[in-house]
A and B are shown apart, each in its own frame.
Chain A
Amino acid sequence: MKITLKIWRQESAQDKGGFVTYKMDDVSTEMTFPEMLDSLNEDLIKRNEVPFAFDSDCREGICGMCGLYINGRPNGPQEGVTTCQLNMSMFKDGDTITIEPWRAKAFPVIKDLVVDRTALDKLIQAGGFISAKTGAAPEANAIPVSKEESDIAFDAGVCIGCGTCVASCKNASAMLFISAKVSQFAVLPQGRVEAKERVQTMVAQMDALGFGNCTNTGACEAECPKEIKLSNIARMNREFYKAKIS
């Protein structure tokens, strides 16, 4: 099929940037989105043009490296997928596809479609861990965890750190991201010990890094490729109040 692409090109963080239009005549519906972009880049190289930069690594929706704003939606029109899992069969012949990088104060653009998401690492560094030093662990079955709570922890723990939640939020808030980690550890007995400190340091760090606050629009939940639930934010808020009043 024939596709027109409007791709955000920006030389560096300092550069103003803008859209550049490319036409593709031979896009297969069997391609994934990054395979389509690869194919355009191959053509650009052959035509002596400089290819555009975009991040992509595992190509199976688990590493969280990719992430593009496609036609005004993070990761495009398909539900519950990362950009690398998006199929070109979601588009039709003649479509124009607009591709932008994540837009958030905490995620400055590095080049073209590549942004700096190290702020997410800093959030985890602020307390997104259980301080179990190597060698100090007790026998695994000495800590029984109900299946229900274990499943809640797993569902929160599947976050891939892609930044979709931040990109989809009009406030560029990282609430879904930190609440997933806070929830995962709040429901597990192993994580309770540090629960009070964790929620406070993570929230403080989120504010310090320039992420916005949560106004409960639910865009993050709607767009999260791993379908992480808004209820994690509610749980985090409870944890936060508990930490403040106890």
Chain B
Amino acid sequence: MQQPGKLDAKIPGGPLKDKWTKHKASLRLVSPANKKKLDIIVVGAGAAGGSAAASLAELGYNVKVFVFQDSPRRAHSIASQGGINASKNYKNDSDSDYRLFHDMLKGGDFRAREANVYRAAEISNNIIDQYVASGVPFARDYSGYLDNRSFGGVQVSRTFYAQGQTGQQCTLAAYQALSRQIKAGKVTMFSRRDVLELVLIDGKARGVIARNLLTGEIERHSAHAVVFATGGFGTVYYLSTLAINSNGSAALAAYKKGAFMANPSMAQIHPTCLPVLNDYQSKLTLMSESLRNDGRIWVSSKKGDKRNPLDIPENERDYYLERRYPAFGNLVPRDVASRAAKERCDAGYGAGETGLSVYLDFKDAIKDQGEEVIGNKYGTLFDLYRKITGINPYKEPMKIYPASHYTMGGLWVDYNLMTTIPGLYALGEANFSDHGANRLGASSLMQCSGDGYFILPVTIGDYLADEIKTPQIPTDGPEFEEAEKAVEGKLSKLMSVNGSQTVSSFHKKLGQILWTHSGMKRNEKGLKQALQEVAELQEEFWKDVKVPGKLEHLNHELEKAARVADFFDLAKLIITDALDRNESCGAHFREEYQTEDGEAQRDDDRYAYVSAWEFTDENKGPMLHKEKLVFETVTPTKRSYK
């Protein structure tokens, strides 16, 4: 049953391009004298959390930052490679806020909110200004001005980049701004902490329970508001492009405390990653999408062709993206490129020993532009590839295959980035707001940075304006007591099972179930089977998992166990959402809903909504709320890249 009023996205009225300006002017403010009396907890310090924490501290709030790594510089935003979009129009190729907005909305297959996406485009230029002022060495041409390149799903060049390490450079800029505030005493840093529970007092987010990963101590931390910038949960698939410790535990804790989870099935499988080579593999490294600017993707036109790619003559190569999508060619969006690769491999044309890879070839680009120019653009990526595989991409095509990469879905937030729990905000990949059913390349750094630098610091004031008389939140109340007990209970339970199977073996099995039935292609039968299998595996986990070591000590296995325990619930949410959506859109491709030529068949009449799932109890399934998507400016069209 839908509870009316619970899903008010608070989208301001008026014309699209005026919404954010008008909204900012209408938000309440907190005076500098009052800001210094207010505490804010920020969990995660990537491009979103780091920039938010620094910006909030600059405004005068007291900020407490939590990360599981030893340093806030290591968040996985650091691994973002290809770039960050902005509508500067430095290339004079007719770019504009509107065009960036339209590309993102269309790229997301019209499953995102117009107002949010437009705002992301509108503030994109400020982000570039901010990063340049902070010392990010974006690529420049010989004039000394900033350079741009193009990216998948668009026909303009709007991507700012720093070789293949744009995310590193941007994340470090945010980290350095954060470091400055740590030195100024406005930010207290809590590293090597896993945030395992959210604490609500009178329905408002007032703190977190964290485990000190070095001592095992369970800590209570309070604040007037809590911000989750905890990234995505693509590691639920086990093998992914994410860091091995990336997880969804904080988001799941929020969900179980009443924050709705939106579009969890919208999980991006990125087309250009290293293929699975063996059973030991712990990671599928991303090869930036920017490579598709100059690289051409192909497979042999003969089934099961095991020849060395250099021995396959031109007339026996199938440049299948260029063949199927002549307008965009190798630069189709990620979802389209991934499915096309899977289609060729499933049909038996895949490359390599496993037949589960396709070629990404720079031969023609090097012939046209020379090795030096290509090296300047992609040198760090080519080196990365060579180091992992031993193959030199200047001489021989890369082998790539799609892998789990990014979750468009996440905690439901309103226009102010507040979840359905008052005082709990979600930023960056941890929320669902801007990418709809498929994210375009170089728009994640843009969204994370926008959320952290320019949106949250403004919108959170409107909430905190009501809190100026609230004294510091004590941590000895019953709510903290209860939350701490719940965490201790869960961890002790994990330690006490003392079964026979390792945590990783469960994670692998879970990943396999999801990859098979809820990956690039899904169908009702498979999803139902997956739901059953996940439930069984979860039951087995709690009966037979083996967690060695001690509670009150550095214990990586216990950390992993707590994360994997949460992945089962996240997996069930993903599958449940995928089952609900009887259409194909973006990354969510249901085999029952496709056109004759195998393209996604969207159903706007029935599914033009954001699915927001509410936790009920451990035994009952989640409850669906629908936020209807209203398109005032753009008329959703069939997404064609042909």
Do they bind each other?
A: yes
Binding site for B on A (CB under 8 A): 28, 30-32, 34-36, 38-39, 42, 44-46, 48-51, 53, 55-65, 78, 80-81, 85, 87, 89, 110-111, 114, 116-118, 120-121, 124-126, 128-141, 143-147, 150-151, 153-154, 157-158, 160-161, 184-185, 188, 190-191
Given the complex, which residues of A lie within 8 Å of B145, measured CB to CB? Answer: 141, 144
Do residues B144 and A144 form an inter-chain contact, with CB atoms below 8 A?
A: yes
> Which residue of the partner chain A has the closest CB to B554?
A111
Do residues A117 and B71 form an inter-chain contact, with CB atoms below 8 A?
A: yes
Given the complex, which residues of A lie within 8 Å of B183, measured CB to CB? Answer: 125-126
Query: Measured between alpha carbons, how far is A67 from B500 in the docked complex, in Å?
Result: 31
B175 at the binding interface (Cβ < 8 Å): yes
Knowing A51-B548, A57-B244, A130-B134, say if A42 contacts B502 (CB, 8 Å). Answer: yes
Knowing A50-B549, A134-B51, A188-B137, say if A154 contacts B163 (CB, 8 Å). Answer: yes
Do residues A62 and B165 form an inter-chain contact, with CB atoms below 8 A?
A: yes
Do residues A150 and B546 form an inter-chain contact, with CB atoms below 8 A?
A: no
Q: Can you give 28 A-B contacts (C-beta < 8 A)? A: A28-B278, A42-B504, A46-B546, A51-B548, A51-B549, A57-B74, A58-B76, A62-B168, A63-B243, A64-B73, A78-B387, A87-B388, A110-B214, A117-B71, A124-B176, A126-B183, A128-B179, A134-B51, A134-B58, A139-B129, A140-B131, A140-B146, A147-B140, A158-B380, A161-B74, A184-B135, A190-B133, A190-B135
Given the complex, which residues of B lie within 8 Å of A145, measured CB to CB? Answer: 140, 144
Query: Measured between alpha carbons, how far is A63 from B119 in the docked complex, in Å?
Result: 30
> Which residue of the partner chain B has the closest CB to A11?
B553
> Which residue of the partner chain B has the closest CB to A54?
B556
Q: Nearest 8 A-B pairs (CB), nearest first?
A: A144-B144, A137-B133, A129-B176, A132-B133, A154-B137, A137-B129, A59-B283, A153-B137
Given the complex, which residues of B lie within 8 Å of A154, measured CB to CB? Answer: 137, 162-163, 169
B572 at the binding interface (Cβ < 8 Å): no
Do residues B58 and A31 form an inter-chain contact, with CB atoms below 8 A?
A: no
Given the complex, which residues of B lie within 8 Å of A139, measured CB to CB? Answer: 129
Query: Measured between alpha carbons, how far is A19 from B245 in the docked complex, in Å?
Result: 27
Query: Measured between alpha carbons, how far is A153 from B363 in the docked complex, in Å?
Result: 30
Do residues A134 and B130 form an inter-chain contact, with CB atoms below 8 A?
A: yes
Given the complex, which residues of B lie within 8 Å of A120, measured CB to CB? Answer: 71
Do residues B135 and A191 form an inter-chain contact, with CB atoms below 8 A?
A: yes
Given the complex, which residues of B lie within 8 Å of A87, measured CB to CB? Answer: 387-388, 390
Do residues A61 and B384 form an inter-chain contact, with CB atoms below 8 A?
A: yes
Given the complex, which residues of A lie within 8 Å of B373, measured CB to CB? Answer: none
> Which residue of the partner chain A has the closest CB to B72?
A121
Do residues A161 and B140 form an inter-chain contact, with CB atoms below 8 A?
A: no
B327 at the binding interface (Cβ < 8 Å): no
Contact of A147 among B125, B144, B280 (CB under 8 A): B144
B207 at the binding interface (Cβ < 8 Å): no
Do residues A140 and B88 form an inter-chain contact, with CB atoms below 8 A?
A: yes
Binding site for A on B (CB under 8 A): 51, 54-55, 58, 69-74, 76, 78-79, 88, 90, 125-126, 128-146, 162-163, 165, 168-169, 172, 175-177, 179-180, 182-183, 189, 191, 214, 243-245, 277-278, 280-283, 285-286, 380, 383-384, 387-388, 390, 453-454, 457, 500, 502, 504-505, 546, 548-549, 553-557
B198 vs chain A, min Cβ distance (A): 24
Knowing A137-B129, A144-B143, say if A111 contacts B280 (CB, 8 Å). Answer: no
Given the complex, which residues of B lie within 8 Å of A141, measured CB to CB? Answer: 88, 90, 145-146
Knowing A57-B244, A146-B144, say if A45 contacts B548 (CB, 8 Å). Answer: yes
Q: Which of B69, B125, B500 has the most CB of A within 10 A?
A: B69
Given the complex, which residues of A lie within 8 Å of B74, measured CB to CB? Answer: 57-58, 63-65, 161
Do residues B457 and A134 form an inter-chain contact, with CB atoms below 8 A?
A: yes
Query: Measured between alpha carbons, how far is A191 from B132 in the docked complex, in Å?
Result: 10
Do residues A45 and B70 form an inter-chain contact, with CB atoms below 8 A?
A: no
Query: Measured between alpha carbons, how far is A191 from B176 in the docked complex, in Å?
Result: 13
A89 vs chain B, min Cβ distance (A): 8
Query: Measured between alpha carbons, how far is A36 from B280 in the docked complex, in Å?
Result: 8
B177 vs chain A, min Cβ distance (A): 6
Given the complex, which residues of A lie within 8 Å of B54, measured CB to CB? Answer: 134
B445 vs chain A, min Cβ distance (A): 14
Do residues B79 and A62 form an inter-chain contact, with CB atoms below 8 A?
A: yes
Do residues A133 and B502 form an inter-chain contact, with CB atoms below 8 A?
A: no
Do residues A85 and B387 form an inter-chain contact, with CB atoms below 8 A?
A: yes
Do residues A58 and B554 form an inter-chain contact, with CB atoms below 8 A?
A: no
> Which residue of the partner chain B has the closest CB to A161?
B73
Given the complex, which residues of B lie within 8 Å of A63, measured CB to CB? Answer: 69, 74, 76, 78-79, 243
Do residues B280 and A46 form an inter-chain contact, with CB atoms below 8 A?
A: no
Given the complex, which residues of A lie within 8 Å of B169, measured CB to CB? Answer: 154, 157
Do residues A60 and B182 form an inter-chain contact, with CB atoms below 8 A?
A: no
B74 vs chain A, min Cβ distance (A): 4
Contact of B502 among A46, A117, A118, A153 (CB under 8 A): A46
Do residues B78 and A58 form an inter-chain contact, with CB atoms below 8 A?
A: yes
Given the complex, which residues of B lie within 8 Å of A38, measured CB to CB? Answer: 280, 282, 504
Query: Measured between alpha carbons, how far is A225 from B247 in the docked complex, in Å?
Result: 27
> Which residue of the partner chain B has the closest CB to A131?
B180
Contact of A45 among B139, B163, B546, B554 (CB under 8 A): B546
Given the complex, which residues of A lie within 8 Å of B69, measured CB to CB? Answer: 57, 63, 65
Query: Measured between alpha carbons, how far is A45 from B501 in the docked complex, in Å?
Result: 9
A57-B74, A114-B554, A141-B145 known, 15 other contacts, Cβ within 8 Å: A28-B280, A31-B280, A32-B282, A38-B282, A45-B557, A58-B244, A61-B384, A62-B78, A110-B214, A136-B133, A137-B129, A143-B132, A147-B141, A153-B135, A190-B135
Do residues A185 and B135 form an inter-chain contact, with CB atoms below 8 A?
A: yes
Given the complex, which residues of A lie within 8 Å of B142, measured CB to CB? Answer: 147
Do residues A65 and B70 form an inter-chain contact, with CB atoms below 8 A?
A: yes
Given the complex, which residues of B lie within 8 Å of A80, measured CB to CB? Answer: 383, 387
Query: Measured between alpha carbons, how far is A146 from B624 in the docked complex, in Å?
Result: 55
B398 vs chain A, min Cβ distance (A): 15
Do residues A138 and B133 form an inter-chain contact, with CB atoms below 8 A?
A: yes
> Which residue of the partner chain B has the closest CB to A48?
B548
Do residues B70 and A59 form an inter-chain contact, with CB atoms below 8 A?
A: no
A226 vs chain B, min Cβ distance (A): 9
Knowing A129-B177, A154-B162, say if A121 contacts B78 (CB, 8 Å). Answer: no
Knowing A58-B76, A134-B58, say if A157 contacts B556 (CB, 8 Å). Answer: no
Query: Measured between alpha carbons, how far is A158 from B383 in the docked complex, in Å?
Result: 14
